[in-house]
Amino acid sequence: MLFQLPEINREATKKKIEAILDNYRVVLLQVPDDLLPKVTAGFNLVPPSNTNAFHSSTEDTAIKRTEMEEKRNDFLAKVQKAVNRLPANERQIIIMRYMSQDHRFDYEVYNEIGMSSRTYFRIKSRAFYNLAFALKEEVYVKGSAS
């Protein structure tokens, strides 16, 4: 019995991977300013509960910040590992186009690599397909799983 892979929705998969790679660049530069601890007194009309549990906004902020940083680092590591599993030419395209500090357009990347436009887009498409499998983010066509 042979393994039959269900049909992949290429366009939806491409959009999903592009969104992940765009998110990667944003997350890489992200500094959470909104989770700073409060340094001024706050007043509330609701009386405190009598649970004898200590509640500190500074501790809550520190915990949220640590959890958020851990999630961010996990996401970055997951994407980096998946990209590192790609073949060299696919990896080069993805890194130059989506993972560098400066925003580049496709024509800048394929001119810098010295590749024709057609070859570049063919390899880029294959890179998205492989990256979707590496990240387990592929989108299947409904009803194609046999």
Q: At what angle do helices 117-135 and 57-84 cross, to 10 degrees?
A: 130
What CA–CA distance (Å, rounded) separates 102 from 95?
Answer: 11
pLDDT for residue 8: 85
Residues 40-54 have pLDDT tens digits of 556 666 666 666 566
Confidence class for position 29, pLDDT limits 50, 70, 90: confident
Which residues are CB-neighbours of 21 under 8 A, at least 6 positions away? 79, 94, 98, 99
Helical spans, DSSP H, in 8-56: 10-29
What CA–CA distance (Å, rounded) separates 80 from 85?
Answer: 9
Residues 30-41 have pLDDT tens digits of 755 554 445 555
Residues 85-116 have pLDDT tens digits of 999 999 999 999 998 878 899 999 999 999 99
pLDDT for residue 4: 77
The per-residue b/e assignment along 18-27, b for 16 or more CB within 10 angstroms, e otherwise, is: eebbeebeee
CB distance 143 to 11 below 8 Å: no
**pTM of this structure:** 0.73
What CA–CA distance (Å, rounded) separates 52 from 62?
Answer: 21
Q: Which of 18-27, 39-48, 56-65, 134-143 has the lowest mean pLDDT?
A: 39-48
Bridge partners of 140, per DSSP, are 8
> What does the mean pLDDT of the chain come to?
83
pLDDT for residue 38: 52
pLDDT for residue 19: 94
Reply yes or no on whether the pLDDT at 67 is more than 70.
Answer: yes
Q: Residues 110-132: what's their mean pLDDT?
A: 95
Between the two ends of the chain, the Cα-to-Cα distance in Å is: 13
